[in-house]
Structure 1
Amino acid sequence: MKKTLGLGALISALGTSMPLQAMPYDTPDTWGGDLESRARLTGNWGGARDDMAKKGVVLDMDVYWMPQKITSGGRDSASGDWGNAILTLNVDTQKLGLWPGGFFKLQTVTSFGDTLLKETGAIVPANLSWMLPTITPDTGVQEITYTQFLSQHFGVFLGKINAIAPTNVLHGDYTTGFQNTGINMPLALAMVPLSAYGIGALYLPSHDVTLAGMVLDANGTIKNDNLSNAFDDGIMALASADLKIRPWGLPGHQNLTVAWSNKDRTSLVQDPSNIAGLLLTAHFPRLGNPGPILSEILDAHPVAAKIPPDPLNKESETWAAVYSFEQFVWQPAGDPKRGIGTFFSVGVSDGKANPIRYSYSLGLVGKGVVPGRPNDDFGLGWARTEFSDHFVPYLRDRFNLGLDHEDVVELYYKASITPWLSITPSLQVVSQGLNKVFNASAPGFEDLDTAYIAGVRVGVRF
């Protein structure tokens, strides 16, 4: 019993420290029941699902359909209907009759539909899911990891790591909560891959303190499954310290995460004649791809090229750090899963290879507090992304493009219709970093108005 409790405490603390990889997976007493009460739409599969779960094997599929529309502002009053289908396999080696403390996880993501990535005029994607697995419909392996707990206080994991797996209680789960990328994750970490081969470890010196770290392939992507060239261009290392707190008897936690990479990257500090080369070659994993929007301006107003051209400046390392906290401010007595809480994060990077110098987020979330709706959630969040002074200064100054900072406010309400069906309407107000955009059909520049994006997310757990 003591060993089981220690492992549970370790998992609980890790859940607010690093992205969750293969871990013990909670299952209902039974997957069966009537259509309104069963945990998942397809039920118990004639008893096979319960039998599999008892042996530590759980296979799930979740589908999220997210129609959205720009009701005003942006580049175009367009509509999109992006969706993700996520297939997940969890295996518990002890329940399978093998060895204790071992957990395997495989997760794939398939996307379909159309995004509004370009139409919003924003640099930060208004929907994190638009980047999964790529910004066009596709299928990829988001995670394939193995975790081994060596004691009550220490565990290791390795494989292809999902570096954006939801971890926080109040925000960060793009499948059930906020959709905007800037609210879901601190964009000072824009250079950290979404998914990459790597290895990590976690240590719990006490129930309230969790220390964790991992090393990732700096070039990792969801679509890159080639292990043979992993780490060829360097590493992305992350270290995290998480402290649980209980002011006024209410749960919360504070976290500090530091990221460092030794990959040679294209520097933002360039001669203007090299701007086109920068935009065409640089890749910012958590920003989608802002290059094409700015490249439209370069196509119409090319910069005089040097002959011979100067080589691109490079940065041999990059770093970022993020402090964050979540804190419940009210909970009903005896129910730790419900309540009202707040979250905050602030991040900073070197701003030399990373186009994001500072990132901030702040919000209020209610979980199960609406009378008569114990499974519904709601949230109000704000995020600011401040761009590096080195990010295309020539274009910013010559054409007065702005690119100082980008703000978003998002409001959502998740209505749980059944345990397996949720409907989440949302509204985003995006004040773009760009002041204006180039209209090739005019041709010429036009002002870029604040974008209002209305949408709904329909989630079905099969």
Structure 2
Amino acid sequence: MWRRREWSGPASPKGRLARARRLIAAACVLVAALGGPALAEDDAVSLAKQKSLTDTPDGPKEQLRKFGIDVDVWITQFEQGITSGAINRTARYGGVMDTFLRVDGEKLGFWKGLKFNAQYEHYFGRNVNRQDLALLPVNVAQAFIERDGYHSALSMTLTQEFSEQFSVTIGKFNMLTLAAQTPLVGGGGIETFMNRSFALPSTGIGVNSPESVADRLIIAPPYLLGGVAALKTKFFDLKLMVADPRNALQPRVIQRPFERGIGAGLMLTVPVEIGGLNGFHTFRVAYSNARGFDLEDIGETARIAQLRGITKKGYRFVSYAIQQYLMQSATDPKVGWGVFTLATLSDGNPNPVKWSVVAGLAGNNLMTGREDDRWGVGYYHYRLSPLLLSGLAARRINRRSEGGVEAFYNFAVTRWLRLSGDVQIIDPWNPLRARASYLGLRLQTIF
């Protein structure tokens, strides 16, 4: 009979070390297999270059694409440990399975411009989130579907492209997947940075609630129900998103959409070329008329029993981001590395984060033969609202703003097999805890 404990793996340090060794050994075995004599040289080259393990020439996936159906399965495994600074030094093994379905309606016999996308995620194992007393999850890919919460999530969107310049998309959006499309820095926690500050920056328009006052307060729902209108021109890209500001992972959002208000965001991206190198400047504003917990009332201990009824209407948020290539491939302008930065500012009430800044270097390794490798190093700081900090202090809960650094290297064994090493150092928002450090391994296989 299946039991949860079977997924969690051995609890002893030797058991956790053995899992890490097995993860690395699996990658080494596949490397050896690709270079060994068992495969003909041409077959080995073809296997190494194909997009996924099962995407063989004239195979089932290629045949399905002729009918407008594209399917991918990603399995990402994590072995991540807290080496210092937390209550207990611990390591956890777990992972996420992502299944993607993309349908081209025109090829399938419907009308031109119709697109359908679905993503199913399933969690397995465990993770170190919430074991460290940090504000931001250090493994965002496992932060929202997890052992003690939702085990899976399904996102679906329907797009109508009216022209090459204008399209409309409606449905349930996976914001981690959207963040993964960001130039240089990427997102989603699967291929680039693992910390939420880089992989899913705050949108500032989600609904906060009193029961989360002393927990993780970053407002950026990982799943949103709504619609996006996109306009692409030679000089700029413009997107307008209207969504329910609550986390669409909750069934009530699907059953009763927009019952607590509506959120809207406008994003303008302008391409800028400097010295022949591509760059992107993105300005975003967002507003929601939803009600959130009024941070001015945190310190009024006499009204603790009535906290659920104390609300403040309206979330306001602005951000500015830059991605600028410093080096680019001569054959593919999307391959290169450069600098990225993101600065955000909010009203500070009911938004619990007054401002934040993220900056670093990231991109591809441009050494010959290693162009598919990705790397990055970044710094973040989240400045919490003074109202939040003073209110918590009045209730004898001492907290502070949080900052940290992260670096990773993603080694492409093949295009469909990637092994990453990751290190993070964080000054947690709990001032009673020392600076924490984390080491992680990540193995991604695309089928």
Shift of 1:36: 3.1
> Compared with structure 1, are the counterparts of its residues 225 and 170 closer, same or farther at alpha carbon in structure 2 (3 Å cutoff)?
farther
Preserved CA contact (<8 Å) 1:155 1:201? yes
CA–CA distance in structure 2, aligned partners of residues 307 and 382 of structure 1: 36
> Compared with structure 1, are the counterparts of its residues 264 and 223 closer, same or farther at alpha carbon in structure 2 (3 Å cutoff)?
closer
**Alignment of 1:351 onto 2:328:** no
Shift of 1:85: 0.6
CA–CA distance in structure 2, aligned partners of residues 160 and 225 of structure 1: 13
1:171 aligned counterpart, secondary structure: coil
Preserved CA contact (<8 Å) 1:141 1:223? no
CA–CA distance in structure 2, aligned partners of residues 169 and 193 of structure 1: 21
Corresponding residue of 1:61 = 73
Shift of 1:226: 5.8
Shift of 1:259: 1.5
CA–CA distance in structure 2, aligned partners of residues 336 and 378 of structure 1: 17
Preserved CA contact (<8 Å) 1:415 1:422? yes
CA–CA distance in structure 1, aligned partners of residues 166 and 44 of structure 2: 36
Equivalent residue in structure 2 for 1:454, among 439, 442, 446: 439
Corresponding residue of 2:181 = 167
> Compared with structure 1, are the counterparts of its residues 54 and 232 closer, same or farther at alpha carbon in structure 2 (3 Å cutoff)?
same
**Alignment of 1:267 onto 2:294:** yes
Shift of 1:119: 1.9
CA–CA distance in structure 1, aligned partners of residues 303 and 153 of structure 2: 43
Preserved CA contact (<8 Å) 1:269 1:313? no
Corresponding residue of 2:28 = none
> What residue ranges of structure 2 are gaps of 5+ in the alignment?
1-42, 205-217
| 1:385-422 CA distance string (max 9 Å, x none) | 1100111524336657241x211111100000011100
CA–CA distance in structure 1, aligned partners of residues 304 and 344 of structure 2: 40
Letter in 1 for 2:360: G
Question: What are the within-5 Å matches in structure 2 for residues 312-461 of structure 1?
Answer: 312-396=309-393, 399=396, 401-403=398-400, 405-436=401-432, 448-461=433-446
| 1:339-369 CA distance string (max 9 Å, x none) | 2211000001111112111111001013032
Preserved CA contact (<8 Å) 1:349 1:357? yes
Equivalent residue in structure 2 for 1:147, among 147, 151, 159: 159
Corresponding residue of 2:259 = 232
| 1:123-170 CA distance string (max 9 Å, x none) | 111111122335736443342001101122211111112233222121
> Compared with structure 1, are the counterparts of its residues 372 and 316 closer, same or farther at alpha carbon in structure 2 (3 Å cutoff)?
same
> Compared with structure 1, are the counterparts of its residues 241 and 308 closer, same or farther at alpha carbon in structure 2 (3 Å cutoff)?
closer
The sequence identity of aligned pairs, in percent, is 26
Equivalent residue in structure 1 for 2:86, among 59, 63, 74: 74
1:272 aligned counterpart, secondary structure: coil
Question: What are the within-5 Å matches in structure 2 for residues 116-265 of structure 1?
Answer: 116-134=128-146, 136=148, 138-164=150-176, 165=178, 166-173=180-187, 174-187=189-202, 189=204, 190-204=218-232, 206-224=233-251, 227-265=254-292
Shift of 1:258: 1.4
> Compared with structure 1, are the counterparts of its residues 306 and 239 closer, same or farther at alpha carbon in structure 2 (3 Å cutoff)?
closer
Shift of 1:208: 2.5
CA–CA distance in structure 1, aligned partners of residues 193 and 305 of structure 2: 48
Shift of 1:196: 2.2
The two structures have a TM-score, normalised by structure 2, of: 0.81
Preserved CA contact (<8 Å) 2:200 2:220? no
> What residue ranges of structure 1 are gaps of 5+ in the alignment?
1-30, 275-304, 437-447
Higher RCO (C-alpha 8 Å, min separation 6)? 1
1:391 aligned counterpart, secondary structure: helix
1:129 aligned counterpart, secondary structure: helix
CA–CA distance in structure 1, aligned partners of residues 256 and 81 of structure 2: 40
> Compared with structure 1, are the counterparts of its residues 383 and 142 closer, same or farther at alpha carbon in structure 2 (3 Å cutoff)?
farther
4+ aligned runs moved over 6 Å, structure 1 = none
Letter in 2 for 1:105: N
> Which sits farther off after the overlay, 34-43 or 121-130?
34-43
1:74 aligned counterpart, secondary structure: coil
Shift of 1:219: 2.2
Preserved CA contact (<8 Å) 1:71 1:454? yes
2:270 aligned counterpart, secondary structure: strand
CA–CA distance in structure 1, aligned partners of residues 307 and 338 of structure 2: 52
CA–CA distance in structure 2, aligned partners of residues 32 and 323 of structure 1: 45
1:220 aligned counterpart, secondary structure: coil
The two structures have a TM-score, normalised by structure 1, of: 0.79
Shift of 1:225: 7.2
Counting matched residue pairs gives 389
Corresponding residue of 2:22 = none
Corresponding residue of 2:54 = 42
